[in-house]
């Protein structure tokens, strides 16, 4: 058996059922790791024939912890050579496992291969559409990838798996250690998974952006050379400029107006960049609003990480759905 699968989830409902069914017959062993679901996820997974791991709620739930627990379950039996990790709100695309296995077998310098993820309901909201755009990155050798990935078991073991304390951007953090261990990563120009973000409200998007900021700070703390540009931009646009506007308003109204002008220029540059990357002009203009605004909840997330760390608080997950 060359390929095993680890699916992670929490209250995914019908999305999990679709995910599990897309895996049936494609992977030798399927392990579902549940993070405290209160719906019928556990029963559904067992009914479909997956091996089920229930995480102890005494420790904070994280995607990283769940993925490592799934790998440990596979390792307790006949560990496959390659492991496909999939989030429970995704469905696997036909042909992906065979393509990923072929590439890892052909090139033994690869620790990870990944493909393209797309949104199932892309046009349901601007937030889903923005996610769909984020997923489509260039194919070829890469530095990091998202949580949907096929990993060589030897590489996973070598770096000790995912860091269970990292609550966001845990896939980035894992990939950094994979590269430091001497392995390469590659994105194949093939559809891999379809994702259901299910983001229809502004509050969901905001929470997701807070989580991203927490990831920038935590992974940047663990690997200071990583997320440097992202952290600088968040500190400037999400922290410094709002502070200058608030304090400056006490002195002169021209100061907050100047800050707004800086945001305006940033918005224009962002929209132009999105359009150059292939987005239609109208969509680029809409997405640029969210990307420009995102630095503020990103900053909130960065502050949350440092507050937790300095106070010795647990790194609990930040959920958006």
| pLDDT (average), residues 80-109 | 95
Structure-token pair, residue 275: 């359009």
- Distances in whole angstroms, Cα of residue 109 to Cα of each of 64, 124, 208, 274, 307: 24, 40, 34, 34, 40
**CB-based contacts of 211: which residues, under 8 Å, 6+ apart?**
167, 168, 301, 317, 318, 320
Give the CATH fold of the 3-195 domain.
Spore Coat Polysaccharide Biosynthesis Protein SpsA; Chain A (3.90.550)
Q: Could you tell me the pLDDT band of residue 46, with boundaries at 50, 70 and 90?
A: very high
Cα radius of gyration rounded to whole Å, the chain:
20
194-239 pLDDT, tens digit each: 999 889 999 999 999 999 999 999 999 999 999 999 999 999 999 9
Cα-to-chain-centroid distance, residue 108 = 26
Per-residue pLDDT of 116-146, as tens digits, reads 999 999 999 999 999 999 888 899 999 999 9
Instruction: Report the chain's terminal Cα–Cα distance, integer Å.
Output: 35
93: tokens are 């695309």
pLDDT reported for residue 1: 56
Q: What are phi and psi of 42, to 5 degrees?
A: -65, -45
Q: 3-class DSSP state for residue 316?
A: coil
Question: Which residues does 1 contact at the CB level (< 8 Å), separation at least 6?
Answer: 28, 29, 78, 80
Of 161, 198, 181, the C-alpha closest to 62 is: 161
Q: Is there a contact between 115 and 35 (Cβ–Cβ < 8 Å)? A: no
pLDDT per residue as tens digits for the range 157-181 = 999 999 999 999 999 999 999 999 9
Per the structure block, which two tokens stand in for 39? Answer: 């719906």
Q: What are the residue boundaries of the structural domains of the chain, listed by start?
A: 3-195, 202-311
CA–CA dist 232, 217 (Å, integer): 11
């Amino acid at each position: 058996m060359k390929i095993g699968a680890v699916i992670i989830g929490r209250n995914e409902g019908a999305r999990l059922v679709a995910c599990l069914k897309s895996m049936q017959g494609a992977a030798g062993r399927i392990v579902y790791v549940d993070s405290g679901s209160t719906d019928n996820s556990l029963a559904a997974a067992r009914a479909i024939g997956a091996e089920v791991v229930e995480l102890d709620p005494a420790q904070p739930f994280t995607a990283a912890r769940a993925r490592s627990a799934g790998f440990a379950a596979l390792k307790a039996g006949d560990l496959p050579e390659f492991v496909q990790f999939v989030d429970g709100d995704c469905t696997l695309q036909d042909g992906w496992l065979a393509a990923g296995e072929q590439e890892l077998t052909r090139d033994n310098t690869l620790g990870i291969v990944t493909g393209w993820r797309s949104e199932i309901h892309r046009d349901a909201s601007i937030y889903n559409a923005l996610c769909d755009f984020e997923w489509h990155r260039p194919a070829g050798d890469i530095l990091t990838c998202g949580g949907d990935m096929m990993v060589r078991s030897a590489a996973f073991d070598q770096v000790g798996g995912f860091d269970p304390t990292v609550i966001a951007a845990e896939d980035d953090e894992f990939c950094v250690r994979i590269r430091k261990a001497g392995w390469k990563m590659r994105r194949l120009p093939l559809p891999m998974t379809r994702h259901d973000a299910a983001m229809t409200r502004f509050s969901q998007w905001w929470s997701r952006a807070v989580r991203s900021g927490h990831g920038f700070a935590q992974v940047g703390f663990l690997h200071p050379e990583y997320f440097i540009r992202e952290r600088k931009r968040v500190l400037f646009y999400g922290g410094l400029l709002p502070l200058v506007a608030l304090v400056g308003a006490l002195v002169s109204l021209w100061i907050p107006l100047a800050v707004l002008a800086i945001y305006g220029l940033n918005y224009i540059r962002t929209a132009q960049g999105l359009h150059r990357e292939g987005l239609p002009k109208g969509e680029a203009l809409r997405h640029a609003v969210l990307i420009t605004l995102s630095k503020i909840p990103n900053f909130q997330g960065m502050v949350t990480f440092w507050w937790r760390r300095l106070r010795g608080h647990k790194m609990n997950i930040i959920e958006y759905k």
